[in-house]
Amino acid sequence: MLTRLAKITGTANVLHGDDMQGYARDWMGKYTGQPLAVVRPADTNQVSDVMQLASETKTPVVPISGNTGLVGGTYTDGGILLSLERLNTIREIRPEARIAIVEAGVIIANLHDAVDEHGLIFPLLFGARGSAMIGGALSTNAGGSNVLRYGNTRALCLGLEVVLPSGEVMNLMSELHKDNAGYDLRDLFIGAEGTLGVITAAVLKLFPKPAAYATAMVAVPNLAGALTLLNRLQMASGGAVEAFEYMPGNYVEMYQASHPETRPPFDTPHDVNILIELGATAPRDVTPDENGEIPLTALLEQVLVDMMEQGLVLDAVVAQNDTQRAGMWTRREAAAEVVLSQTPRIDSDICVALDKVAPFLEQMDAHLQRLDKSARNICVAHLGDGNIHYSVLPSSESPELADRITETIEDVVQGLGGSFSAEHGVGLSKKPSMARRKDKAALGVMRQIKTALDPLGIMNPGKVLP
């Protein structure tokens, strides 16, 4: 098998033994697999050849991109880890059409840099963008901080190139905003976590780069007041709010404890801290006035002043330069580092309607008192889209306690009409939640789709479907 793989990709691109360590262990350190080999094809044709061989030999194949996943989606024991890292070409950037045609191994930050030269952005923004790749983002339908304005990865993709389990290449590389010719197969593969095929390339949407940002840290009395602030800013700015991120007081305390060299967001601590960012391109919003003030910033400041006078905003600091803006974002993007430093820990990635975020947190506080009086929670949230990264720090490492807390989180989320999986995917870690919570008819349809496209069951087996 290894000899035949080497004939496809070259011996140097079939890794085994110690050379696989950086691939076989996930970023969280929770899952360490034993792959047959790590195979690094150079192009779509080589991916196709690898899949044909895998189909012939009934060998499992697990696609892997930047290996920044959080749910064990790239674990394999005895399968081929198919690394897309060498498919890293930005094939085209077409500024007038505002599209980029890229291969799956393109690092997201590299795409950011490339389109920036054209005054454009690819607005997928999250902490791991310096190593995460387009293929992984598409396979998990990644979210991030700018979903509020631009949507998640599915909303940013026009077309795909996919290698099916048989090795057949399916060309869905549409550049069209309207194409109603049959079933939408593109959206079927986005978010499928490599269980239906291997995404090798994509046509992605680009947007004008904001000529000015207005960024602020704002303290409000409660989360209901935060939504009032969000809605007023959206109305006043014509929908220019790009990010609306919630950091509770205990998260800010933990961040400051691990980064004592930084200043806290406010002189007085607050329970509800919001990072707000607006972006604008129109000259009327970004051209400084005679006093040197940018209208977009002035608008943000005026809304904050008006709400302060009404008691709806307690404190606010508006970034005056890029350094201050970067400092505000660094605090928020350190969330993974801050949370992962706490053990033992039970993580979740849930989504509820915007006005259900506060009820979720209130109900969970009450349940934690019942389940484990010494437990604490730490969370951050993309409050503008209802996605909460909610972690519980229990008093013990008891698996039974962890199960009770996890199921309680699911109970509360389900009762509020939410989802137990917002943007990280299902992988291995959320399969029990899929079994408990996903609509049974929906699971049945998913299994039928899996069987139809992957009858041998070789594509990322054991993931997503319970």
Do 366 and 352 lie in a common domain?
yes
Model pLDDT, residue 35: 96
| Count of residues in the chain | 466
Model pLDDT, residue 36: 97
Do 229 and 183 lie in a common domain?
no
- Residue 159 domain flag: yes
Model pLDDT, residue 69: 92
- Residue 454 domain flag: no
Do 420 and 413 meet the contact criterion of CB atoms below 8 Å apart? Answer: yes
Do 112 and 121 meet the contact criterion of CB atoms below 8 Å apart? Answer: yes
Model pLDDT, residue 145: 94
- Residue 452 domain flag: no
Do 200 and 241 lie in a common domain?
no
Number of domains in the chain: 4
Domain that holds residue 32: 2-83
Do 163 and 200 lie in a common domain?
yes
Do 216 and 325 lie in a common domain?
yes
Note the pLDDT tens digit of each residue in 230-278: 999 999 999 999 999 999 999 999 999 999 999 999 999 999 999 999 9
- Residue 286 domain flag: yes
Model pLDDT, residue 73: 94
Model pLDDT, residue 28: 78
Do 199 and 99 lie in a common domain?
yes
Model pLDDT, residue 70: 87
Do 287 and 313 lie in a common domain?
yes
Do 58 and 79 meet the contact criterion of CB atoms below 8 Å apart? Answer: no
Do 188 and 161 lie in a common domain?
yes
- State how far Cα 327 lies from the chain centre: 21
Do 112 and 95 meet the contact criterion of CB atoms below 8 Å apart? Answer: no
Model pLDDT, residue 143: 95
Q: The domain that contains 373 carries what CATH number?
A: 3.30.70.2740
- Residue 461 domain flag: no
CA atoms within 13 A on the CB side of 87: 33
Model pLDDT, residue 450: 98
Do 244 and 314 lie in a common domain?
yes
Do 310 and 227 lie in a common domain?
yes
- Residue 171 domain flag: yes
- Residue 204 domain flag: yes
Separation between Cα atoms, residue 224 and residue 407, nearest integer Å: 26
Do 119 and 203 lie in a common domain?
yes
Q: The domain that contains 77 carries what CATH number?
A: 3.30.43.10
Q: The domain that contains 160 carries what CATH number?
A: 3.30.465.10
Report helix, strand or coil for 358.
helix
Separation between Cα atoms, residue 47 and residue 42, nearest integer Å: 8
CA distance readout (Å), 440 to 383, 444, 466: 30, 6, 11
Local structure of residue 345 (DSSP, 8 states): -
Query: Of 83, 116, 131, which residue constitutes the final position of a domain?
Result: 83
Query: Of 16, 50, 83, which residue constitutes the final position of a domain?
Result: 83
- Residue 12 domain flag: yes
Do 109 and 129 lie in a common domain?
yes
Query: Of 208, 233, 253, which residue constitutes the final position of a domain?
Result: 208
CA atoms within 13 A on the CB side of 332: 25
| Residues of the chain below pLDDT 70 | none
pTM of the model: 0.95
Model pLDDT, residue 327: 96
The distance in angstroms from the start CA to the end CA of the chain is 30
